[in-house]
Amino acid sequence: MSDFMQQPLTAAAETAPPWLAQVLERGREQWRASSLPNRKTEAWKYNNLQALQQSFTAVDRHAAPRLGNISYPELPGSTLVFADGLYREELSHIDLPAGARLQRFSEADEATASQITNLLGTAVNQARHRFAALNEATLTDGVFLQVDANTVLEQPVHLVWLTSGQGEAVSVNQRLLVQLGANSQASVVETFCNANTGGTAFTNGISELLLGDGARLDHYRLHLEQGEAAHIGGVHAALAGNSTLNSFHLALGSRLKRIDLVAEHRGQGAHCELNGIYLPRGEEQVDYHTCIEHAVPHCTSSETFRGIIGDEATAIFNGRIHIHPDAQKTCAELSNKNLLTSNRAEVNTKPELEIYADDVQCAHGATVAQMDPLTLHYLRTRGVPKDEAEVMISYGFINELVDGVRCEPLRDFLKPLLARRFARNEKLTRHILEEKSLDGSNA
Amino acid sequence: MLKIDNLHARVDDKDILKGLNLAIKPGEVHAIMGPNGSGKSTLGHVLAGRPGYQVTAGSATLLGQDILDMDTEERAHLGLFLAYQYPVEIPGVSNMEFLKASVDAVREARGQEAIDSVSFMKRAREISREVDLDPAFLKRGVNEGFSGGEKKRNELMQMMLLEPKLCIMDETDSGLDIDALQVVAKGVNAMRNEERSFVLVTHYQRLLNYIEPDYVHVLAGGRIIKSGDKSLALELEAKGYAWLEDAA
């Protein structure tokens, strides 16, 4: 196996809490046994892995990188902030009701440590996801959110992973483990962002979401990293009977961004809603590989991903729905739509259905289009200048998904961020952002 | 107001307009009738500058300014409005956002004062009631999932908000039931004044019972082959177009 992660592998073995040793060893063995994907690896054939051509180094655990001007959403509830993989207590606060606990692996007591070791890796298939094995092999800290049965968290739990952009070839390990007890409810927001200062960083992140019977999780994962930030990671969810997962994803592009999303329905009556937006531009790339595993009968899933790809950027979307032989009465739908705003932009989209049961409803569709000239013209006949019309159409393409974000402070953070993404100047976003005040006026 | 001289235009390498002349004075209402494929809709699209519609000869001026070299939005700022036969659906762009963007752009270009959100909403709600469109439609995507009649009312609403100088209405009556037709006619009649002109493109004399035109033109083969007053529409209703086409 390539040695581009040699230093973090060695460093983790020295600095990880002793109780994690077995987990690290398991990860190391799987990582060593696998080989780095290349253009001939089907699931990786469109990824440009050039960003991994250098050797990465985990930052010293006593370092305190300056964070400069990195903006991330400010949400009520609990927030844990990590910078270059290191916990930042002064930026974090925990506010949880009884019946919920938020702990870092590095400070776990014996009982918690044994819970974590029992749960880690139960939602993710490391034989299939080799970078999840790498994540285990370089694990030194992580976050464990545990919600007891019937407990409802009214406020979100926000996990912020920043890369400072200082130093070259910084390796960052991110790990989240969420366990929701039966009939509990929670909202979890994961935000990744960087100071786009030119320093290279490689984040290898894995989040495991374990939903108990009847549990409900609203989950958001925002990949706001840009520029030289490389990220390979994913979310692996396991859904027990009658549980509901609503998972929203957003990715701006960067040098390398490969996100795997896997939701496994393990109990009857589970429902998963997976929505996402990706917006690479310049020479950036974004890759979402999603996989919905329907392993048992009577489950439903609905998935909508939309991408706007500009300049010379590349997007990859692979949406797999796997309906196992026993999974009768499954309803699964998948839609992926792409808007190319430049002649040199590229998208590779592939819905992939594997159905081994005979009594299921399954629908999928993928489209790739350029901005409709007639729509643009229609707006212009009403006096809207061309550049503003283009911004309105682009934003309109993803608006529906943004409106579906239930966490209001998060939606308020995203709207201007996204509107500005399409506009060269502030003025072009004014009508999009004004909408709320128009809605609110009761004239 | 509008002066068109010897206008030739082609779409997809096919000549559609072949020497069209038309002069409209402020305050006049002109109806344009004619058989299918004669170029009626093309005229509106050419004047609005739709992509793919190529002017090969002739000129068109609005308020004394050559509009054929202008960008589409500049024509709108000057005062041109085309009510579409098939309005475009724009999912994800709210009708309100769209209307406010249009009104702001047009007012700004005309040097008028910007309108604040509250006054704008008040005005938009008033107009939506006037055109008998539930104000809830303001929050929906532009024309998204609207019925044919609702789309036409939405066009009328835009026209009333933008207060154009020249309104071209491309078969606004087609697909409308009688009640909706009366709503449209009422809206147009309320907007009629000495400074605003209308071009009504229609297949049916019925619309002209509600909106009385000053002139009626017959467009066939890319040219206006006959002009008259409103009685010409009645004559066409009775006799069809063949006698005119034969004569031309």
pLDDT in tens, B92-108: 999 999 999 999 999 99
Chain A to chain B Cβ contacts (< 8 Å): 107
Task: Find the chain A residues whose C-beta atoms sit closer than 8 A to any C-beta of B.
Answer: 373-375, 377-386, 388, 392-393, 395-400, 431-432, 434-435, 437-439, 441, 443
Tell me whether residue B146 is in a domain: yes
Q: Which of the listed residues A267, A290, A317 is the one where a domain comes to its end? A: A267
CA atoms of A192 and A190, how far apart (whole Å) = 7
What is the average pLDDT across A289-299?
Answer: 97
ipTM of the complex: 0.96
Tell me whether residue A223 is in a domain: yes
Instruction: Give chain A positions within 8 Å (CB) of B48.
Output: 377, 381
Tell me whether residue B8 is in a domain: yes
What is the average pLDDT across B21-42?
Answer: 93
Q: Which of A284, A334, A286, A279 is nearest to A307 (CA)?
A: A279
Packing angle between helix A430-440 and helix A408-422, nearest 10 degrees?
150
Residue A232: enclosing H or E segment and its boundaries?
Answer: strand A229-239
Q: Measured at the alpha carbon of residue B150, what is the angle toward residues B144 and B152, in degrees to the nearest 5? A: 105
Tell me whether residue B135 is in a domain: yes
CA atoms of B170 and A117, how far apart (whole Å) = 70
Name the residue with higher pLDDT: A64 or B232: B232
pLDDT in tens, A133-187: 999 999 999 999 999 999 999 999 999 999 988 878 899 999 999 999 999 999 9
Q: Which amino acid is at A85?
A: G
A90–chain B nearest CA distance, Å: 40
Q: Measured at the alpha carbon of residue A47, what is the angle toward residues A44 and A51, in degrees to the nearest 5? A: 125
Tell me whether residue A326 is in a domain: no
Length in residues, chain B: 248
Instruction: Give chain A positions within 8 Å (CB) of B101.
Output: 379, 382, 384, 388, 392, 431
Q: How many CA atoms lie within 13 A of B36 on its CB side?
A: 0
The range of the structural domain enclosing residue A400 comes to 381-443
Tell me whether residue B61 is in a domain: yes
Q: Do A435 and B96 touch (CB under 8 A)?
A: yes
The answer to whether the CB of B54 falls within 8 A of the CB of B42 is no
pLDDT in tens, A99-115: 999 999 999 999 999 99
pLDDT in tens, A244-286: 999 999 999 999 999 999 999 999 999 999 999 999 999 999 9
Instruction: Give chain A positions within 8 Å (CB) of B51.
Output: 373-374, 377
Q: What pLDDT does A429 receive?
A: 85
pLDDT in tens, A334-392: 999 999 999 999 999 999 999 999 999 999 999 999 999 999 999 999 999 999 999 99
What is the average pLDDT across A411-420?
Answer: 92
The percent of residues above 90 in pLDDT, for chain A, comes to: 79
Q: What pLDDT does A441 receive?
A: 46
**Same domain? B55 vs B86:** no
Give the CA radius of gyration of chain A: 21
Q: What is the DSSP string of A48-107?
A: -GGGGGS--EEPPTT------S------SSEEEEEETTEE-GGG-B----TTEEEEEGGG
**3-state secondary structure at position B231:** helix
Strand partners, A202: A171, A230
**Same domain? B57 vs B107:** no
B33–chain A nearest CA distance, Å: 23
B121–chain A nearest CA distance, Å: 6
Q: What pLDDT does A54 receive?
A: 87
> What Å distances lie between residue B180 and A225, A246, B154, B171, B172, CA to CA?
52, 43, 12, 13, 10
Residue A152: Cβ within 10 Å count: 13
**A323 pLDDT above the threshold of 90:** yes
Q: Which of the listed residues A227, A246, A267 is the one where a domain comes to its end? A: A267
Q: Phi-psi bin for A53: left (phi > 0), alpha (psi -120 to 50), beta? A: alpha
Q: Which of the listed residues A267, A286, A308 is the one where a domain comes to its end? A: A267
pLDDT in tens, B150-177: 999 999 999 999 999 999 999 988 888 8
Tell me whether residue A361 is in a domain: no
Number of domains forming the structure of chain B: 2
CA atoms of B81 and A151, how far apart (whole Å) = 58
Q: Which amino acid is at B92?
A: G
**Same domain? B61 vs B112:** no
**Same domain? B64 vs B123:** no
CA atoms of A218 and A158, how far apart (whole Å) = 12
Q: Which amino acid is at A265?
A: H
**Same domain? A392 vs A251:** no
The answer to whether the CB of A73 falls within 8 A of the CB of A410 is yes
The answer to whether the CB of B48 falls within 8 A of the CB of B35 is no
Tell me whether residue A360 is in a domain: no
Q: What pLDDT does B5 receive?
A: 96
How does the average pLDDT of chain A come out, rounded? 92
CA atoms of A147 and A102, how far apart (whole Å) = 9
Tell me whether residue A225 is in a domain: yes
A335–chain B nearest CA distance, Å: 16
**Nearest-by-CA chain A residue for B164:** A382
Band (A2; pLDDT cuts 50, 70, 90)? low
**Same domain? A17 vs A154:** yes
Residue A379: Cβ within 10 Å count: 28
Q: What pLDDT does A47 receive?
A: 87
Q: Do B92 and A443 touch (CB under 8 A)?
A: no
**Nearest-by-CA chain A residue for B144:** A396
Q: Do B48 and A381 touch (CB under 8 A)?
A: yes
Q: Which of A43, A55, A60 is nearest to A7 (CA)?
A: A55
**Nearest-by-CA chain A residue for B92:** A396
pLDDT in tens, B36-90: 889 999 999 999 999 999 999 999 999 999 999 999 999 999 999 999 999 999 9
Band (A437; pLDDT cuts 50, 70, 90)? low
Tell me whether residue B97 is in a domain: yes
Tell me whether residue B85 is in a domain: yes
Instruction: Give chain A positions within 8 Å (CB) of B94.
Output: 435
**A438 pLDDT above the threshold of 80:** no
DSSP label at B87?
P
The range of the structural domain enclosing residue B152 comes to 81-164
Which CATH number characterizes residue B240's domain? Answer: 3.40.50.300
Number of domains forming the structure of chain A: 2
Q: Do B71 and A437 touch (CB under 8 A)?
A: no
Q: Which of A334, A316, A125, A140 is nearest to A234 (CA)?
A: A125
How does the average pLDDT of chain B come out, rounded? 92
DSSP label at A442?
-
Q: What pLDDT does A195 receive?
A: 84
CA atoms of A285 and A278, how far apart (whole Å) = 9
Q: Do B72 and A384 touch (CB under 8 A)?
A: no
Identify which of A373, A374, A383 has the shortest CB distance to residue B162.
A383
Tell me whether residue B194 is in a domain: no
Tell me whether residue B178 is in a domain: no
CA atoms of A39 and A24, how far apart (whole Å) = 28
**Same domain? B60 vs B94:** no
